[in-house]
A and B are shown apart, each in its own frame.
Chain A
Amino acid sequence: MAKTLAEKVWDEHVVRSADGEPDLLYIDLHLIHEVTSPQAFDGLRMAGRTLRRPDLTLATEDHNVPTDLLQGPIKDPISKTQIETLRKNCAEFGVRLYPMGDASQGIVHVIGPQLGITQPGMTIVCGDSHTSTHGAFGALAFGIGTSEVEHVMATQTLSLPRPKTMAVTVEGDLPVGTTAKDLVLALIAQVGTGGGQGYVVEYRGDAITKLSMEGRMTVCNMSIEWGARAGMIAPDQTTYDYLRGRDHAPAGADWDAAVAAWDALRTDADATFDKEVVLDASTITPFVTWGTNPAQGVALSDVVPDPQALPAGNIRDAAERALVYMGLTAGTPMRDIAVDTVFLGSCTNGRMEDLRAAAAILEGRKVAEGVRMLVVPGSMLVKLQAEKEGLDKVFSDAGAEWRSAGCSMCLGMNPDTLTPGERSASTSNRNFEGRQGRGGRTHLVSPQVAAATAIVGRFAAPSDLQEL
């Protein structure tokens, strides 16, 4: 029977299936971090259960680590307890941990691919909704809650109903100056926050296959922002070139065997999806959100929408509330909106390609007076590589703060937060009320728009900047 990519990966991991019951799905890799794991470890202890496969479990510290000092003590005692709890738990249950200060530490979704432990055809879970990032490699990867974290720890499986499948086909070429981030923000604005609910999505088409692995990760990362369970892209030569030679990638004869298996991970020509969406990449331009959910976005060249022009009901009500929270007036050109802070980082846009793109724009220029810019690499390896390339100096010379690796201002669990009313251009994934700090006003953008915005002090694209 013809199958989609998602169905192939699913079927290869079914341990047990029975009529009227969810499938029991085997999990190839369980990623854990300090925030969603302590209660799961406690659950194991209380029930006297063991962690079945510590060798398929990997931990890092990312969500609440400070990024303004490399190895100093954490000042917040509650954050400190949480980090220490993770260390204790990993030692007790034999889980490999990359702690703060370690060269492999970083945001959980940045280090997996970087280590080469994220591979095509795998099932990967983590107590974090942006686990969908790993789908860029043709893995079935999704976020889970703490009860499921405990379930995977105890059994290395999850009990799940078979998901529906959706194809998002992006035809054509992205115009110059337009990125994977703009693509996914434009998609979410079109399909809405709940458009993907219940589906595993496969991104396909020319515009997708032409993306680098890093761009593909940005797209898959944001799958959850339109409600999709997971996002996937079929593995191809770009995937193999990225993986080959990495620490955990297969080598020698194993590599050949793996590639042979991965080559089969493509949706069959006659397979059908439960739903299909088509997007024309050539119409996409730099994008920016104006509201408090990721679907509330417009082209940078556009204006803040008038809620009265939106369909009555939920969408209009949400827009009215969002404009009040964001302190915006309908009809204001996006390019006229001034920002206080620019955040470059996160599991969405905290990788080398993102930093290089922003640095190329900032080189020889200055961050606008009164604007604070934070550059937070997604991992320690990204940090070290960027420093090797001199990007840290480019950022510092421009007046931006060069930080250590972590989730940082994406969710404001560490000291990097917005103050009430402060407005940010952020390369992260969520513009929810208070997401980056109480009362903070977040606009989601690409790294290129973030850099140009930092220079101008208002929302801007690189093309708005004068030639040096």
Chain B
Amino acid sequence: MEPFVTHTGTAVPLRRSDVDTDQIIPSDWLKRVERTGFGKGLFAEWREDPTFVLNRPERQGATVLLAGENFGTGSSREHAVWALTDFGFKAVISSRFADIFRGNSLKGGLLPVQLPAEVVTALMDLTDADPTAEITVDLDAREVRAGAITAPFDLDDFTRWRLMEGLDDIGLTLRHEESVASFEKSRPSWKPATAVS
């Protein structure tokens, strides 16, 4: 995974709450067996409306998505994250994320930044007033900066370190393979198995 330290880019304000993963990437797109090419399906239904914010000329090339409360609710599909990153987004800022979406983002190179609702609204107002306004998401300092706004955000030390180093989660776990093997020896024998024939 590519390390994430800090990112600066223009933004798209998506003033809707409870944006579910069926909207982010409709289920038609889930039949694909690849990990790439999902950007075309991002918000596929909403993008059919030419006035939808993502279609506006001044929003082209934006890399930071500003979203309403409870972003990424619904299905566990990581395709939602792949669609956002393939489209070019590096970070999503919202006052609350659905758990599974947030976890998927942290694995998939999309930084989910949780800020108080009033700060998210202030950022939306800022980019509405000036679509060229840049927003900086600084993971090192755990801070979002834009115009006169400076807002700290929370992220645990371990995840921050992992993202800044661009480390592979599976690789990290495999360092503890011995602990896993020793745990397996202690599992009760009556625990079910699928018995592969």
Contacts and interface: CB of A to CB of B under 8 A. Distances in A.
Interface of A: 15-16, 20-22, 24, 26, 28-29, 35-36, 38-39, 42, 47, 49, 52, 54-58, 63-64, 76, 78-79, 81-82, 85, 94-96, 116-117, 119, 122, 127-129, 131, 143-148, 150-151, 154-157, 159, 161, 193-194, 197-198, 224, 227, 229, 248-250, 254-255, 257-258, 261, 293, 314-315, 317-318, 321, 411-413, 430, 432-435, 438
Contact of B157 (A20, A145, A314): A20
Contacts of A151: 169-170, 173
B8 interface: no
Interface of B: 15-18, 20, 22-23, 26-28, 30-35, 45, 68-70, 73-79, 81, 96, 98-100, 103-104, 107-108, 156-158, 169-170, 172-174, 176-177, 179-180, 183-184, 187-197
B44 to A, nearest CB: 9
17 contacts: A22-B158, A36-B78, A39-B33, A81-B33, A96-B196, A129-B74, A129-B76, A151-B169, A197-B99, A248-B193, A315-B17, A317-B16, A412-B27, A413-B31, A432-B20, A432-B22, A435-B22
Given A55-B193, A81-B33, A318-B16, 5 more contacts: A22-B158, A128-B76, A155-B180, A194-B96, A432-B20
Contacts of B183: 15, 26
Given A159-B172, A293-B20, A317-B17, A26 B180 contact: yes
B157 A198 contact: no
A161 B81 CA distance: 21
B31 A82 contact: yes
Nearest to A407: B27
Contact of B192 (A116, A146, A435, A438): A116
Given A143-B76, A155-B180, A257-B190, A314 B20 contact: no
B68 A145 contact: no
> Interface centre among B16, B45, B99, by most A CB within 10 Å?
B99
A151 B81 CA distance: 17
Contact of B77 (A36, A57, A116): A36
Contacts of A28: 187, 191-192
B26 A434 contact: yes
Contacts of B70: 193-194, 197, 227
Contacts, number: 210
B100 A144 contact: yes
Contacts of A85: 33
Contacts of B18: 193-194, 293, 314, 318
Q: Which of the listed residues A49, A122, A227, A413 has the most CB atoms from chain B within 10 Å of its own CB?
A: A227
A16 B187 CA distance: 15
A79 B31 contact: yes
Contacts of B74: 129, 224, 430, 432
Contacts of A20: 156-158
Contacts of B195: 55, 96
Contacts of A255: 190
Nearest to B182: A15
Contacts of B16: 317-318, 321
B170 A49 contact: yes
A143 B179 contact: no
A127 B79 CA distance: 11
B104 A147 contact: yes
Chain A CB within 10 Å, residue with most, of B78, B169, B170: B170
Contacts of A314: 17-18, 68-69
B28 to A, nearest CB: 7
Contacts of B32: 78, 82
Q: Which residue among A22, A57, A129, A255 has the maximum number of chain B CB atoms within 10 Å of its CB? A: A129
Nearest to B48: A438
Given A58-B194, A150-B170, A157-B180, A21 B76 contact: no
